[in-house]
Structures are given as C-alpha cells and as structure tokens.
Amino acid sequence: MRLVGDIGGTNARFAIAEPGKCPRDVRKLPAAQYPSLAEAAEDYLSHAPKVEEAVLGVAGPVLGDEVWFSNSTWRFSIEDVRRRLGLRKLIVINDLVAQALSFAALQPDEIGSVKSGTRNPEHPTLVIGPGTGLGVAFLLNDAGTFVGLPSEAGHATFAPTDRLQAEIQSRLQDQHAHLSVERLLSGSGLLSIATTLAEINGQIIDVHDPRDVSARAAAGQCPTCREAIRIFSSILGSTAGSLALTLLTSGGVVITGGLCRGLRPLWDVEALTRAFIAKGRLSSYLDGISIDQILRPHAGLLGAARYVEHSRSV
C-alpha cells in the first residue's frame, strides 16, 4: 500500500492505493487549515494504515528537491517531507500529470464528450484543467507506457480573440503586472470576468465567489454572469486550440477538474468549439480532434496510484 495525493491550491486530497485497485479512504482537506503539506499529510496518515511509499501530485513545477505551489504559500523539501512522514520512498509529480495519467484508466461513464472527433492513441493528448489556477499537461503513449509531460502553460500571456476580451484584458492589466491566461481561466478568473464585464456595462453585481457567478447564471438571475460563462467557455476553447497546435495533439483534448465539472450544465459548448477551431489555416486539423471531459471526482488520485505501475513522467 502507498499514500497518494492530489494537492492543489485550495484542497489537499489523499487516499490509500493498493496495486491493481482504485484508491480508497479518500479525504479532502482544506489547505488553509494547515501550515504546510507535511501537516496535512500527517493528519491524513494518523487515521490511515501504515505506508512506506507515497506519490503526490502537486499544483506547481517540480524542478528539484524544493517544491513551491503556484497558488498557495506552501513550500517544501521532498526529502524533508519523506523523512518526516517516515517514508522509504516519496515521488512528487505535477498534479496535471496525475490527471493525465488517470485518463487511460477511466470507465466510459467517467468521460463526457464535449466535441466529437477522432483520437489517435499513438499521438499526444492535451489535458487542461482550470481550477484554483490553470493546469496543463500532455500525455504520450510510449509503446504502452503512458508518459506525462508537465507544463506551466497556464502562466503564458493571455491573448484576447475579440474586442470584448481585449477590453477585459485592458482593465485587468491594471491589477496584474503580468496577465497570464490563468488570471481568466480559473475560478478567480471567472469571477474577474464577471465583475469586469459588469464594470464595462456600468453595472454592479453581487458576486464574491466563482460559485456565486455559476449559481446566479443557473437561476437565470444575472445575464452578466451568463455572459461571463460564455466568455470563459470561449477562452477555454481558444487556449486549448493553441495548446493543441503546440504538440499536434491528435490524441485528443481532455478537460478536467471540479470547476469545469460544476460548469458543465452551463458552459457554452458552441462558443468553446468555435474558439477551439478558429486557428486560420490549421482550423481543419483542429476540427477533427475530439474534446472530452473527465467526470470522475478525484481523478488525480487514480493517476497518482497508476504512476508507479503503468506510467512515468519527465
């Protein structure tokens, strides 16, 4: 048995994994309640069987022993955490790599279709997950071994695709020295789109959390919130299309994360698809690529569990 974790900027999810079985004893711990990753893991392990190994997916770049989170104050040394938890072995990977590695193990009812198309399993797959930030990874099939390629593409500069997005960009640039795509394509980004759109229209809307935006849109109470979700959908499609071209991801595009699962009944699939394809001379190539969505909660734990037995990352 080993400990597996999916550690984001808002929540730390842990489970116990046994070879050939799905993770069990899943717990979601609010990151804000713990001073560091080590304390959160110790809390989980205090109620779990003894383990000697762990695989943790973290929301940030893993470039050496020192790991820091892109949207959290947590920082840690892999070796220090290994010793503190009494582990023989600790593997730390990017959290979107863990999400990507889960995809090959999902059941058909755990995947939802967003855009029809073909998937060539021998070609790269793009996995994109808006959440507290924006995670991006690629999945390669190397003769049956799945290889996860991490990235920090969420920190690339946001590129608007129409005048309204350009106006939103202009206003948000006053708040951020660098307006990355995750400043819009995340939970806080959805909130920023809604409040900035209201400002442009000379309105004041009572939203303080991304869940307020989706709730008001779902209730039909706020056209501005509904329009914000349409813009979010378009930015998601455009960003996914650009990333699909960087590695020619004929293996498909996969959207993951709880934010998009919650938005699934509300998002504008037509706007997403149109923005995904709108890449000029490469539009016909993108038109043939499928877009799917991971519907399984805690898929990152499944990917972390599969990492040792079926996969690897670089």
- Supply the pLDDT for residue 262: 93
pTM above 0.75, yes or no: yes
- Supply the pLDDT for residue 310: 59
Domain span including residue 23 = 2-100+298-313
pLDDT in tens, 75-102: 999 999 999 999 999 999 999 999 999 9
Q: Which residue has the tokens 């806080």?
A: 188
Q: Please list the ranges in the chain whose pLDDT falls under 70.
A: 309-314
Q: Tell me the backbone φ, ψ of residue 114, rounded to 5 degrees.
A: -105, -45
Same domain, 231 and 164: yes
- Supply the pLDDT for residue 144: 80
- Supply the pLDDT for residue 194: 97
Same domain, 143 and 66: no
- Supply the pLDDT for residue 311: 57
**Residue 188 is part of a domain; what is its CATH number?**
3.40.367.20
Percentage of the chain lying above the pLDDT 90 cut:
90
- Supply the pLDDT for residue 313: 56
Same domain, 116 and 243: yes
Same domain, 144 and 79: no
Same domain, 89 and 197: no
Q: How far apart, in whole angstroms, are the C-alpha atoms of residue 85 and residue 206? A: 44
Same domain, 82 and 67: yes
- Supply the pLDDT for residue 314: 55
Same domain, 201 and 247: yes
Same domain, 180 and 220: yes
**Residue 303 is part of a domain; what is its CATH number?**
3.30.420.40
Q: In this structure, which amino acid lies at residue 270?
A: E
H helices then E strands: how many in the chain? 11, 14
Same domain, 85 and 196: no
Spatial CB neighbours of 63, under 8 Å, sequence gap ≥ 6: none
CB 66 within 8 Å of CB 37: no
Same domain, 129 and 278: yes
Same domain, 154 and 244: yes
Distances from the Cα of 58 to the Cαs of 36, 78, 273, in angstroms?
Answer: 13, 11, 29
Same domain, 43 and 165: no
- Supply the pLDDT for residue 146: 87
- The tally of domains found in the chain comes to 2
Q: Tell me the backbone φ, ψ of residue 109, rounded to 5 degrees.
A: -80, 0
For 141-198, the DSSP string reads EETTEEEEEE--GGGSBP---SHHHHHHHHHHTTT-SS-BGGGTSSHHHHHHHHHHHH
Nearest 5 degrees, angle CA 118-CA 123-CA 127? 80
pLDDT in tens, 95-108: 999 999 999 889 99
Q: Which of 229, 296, 309 is nearest to 265 (CA)?
A: 229
The DSSP element (H or E) to which 223 belongs, if any, is: helix 223-247
Sort strands 134-142 and 125-130 into parallel, antiparallel or unpaired.
Answer: antiparallel
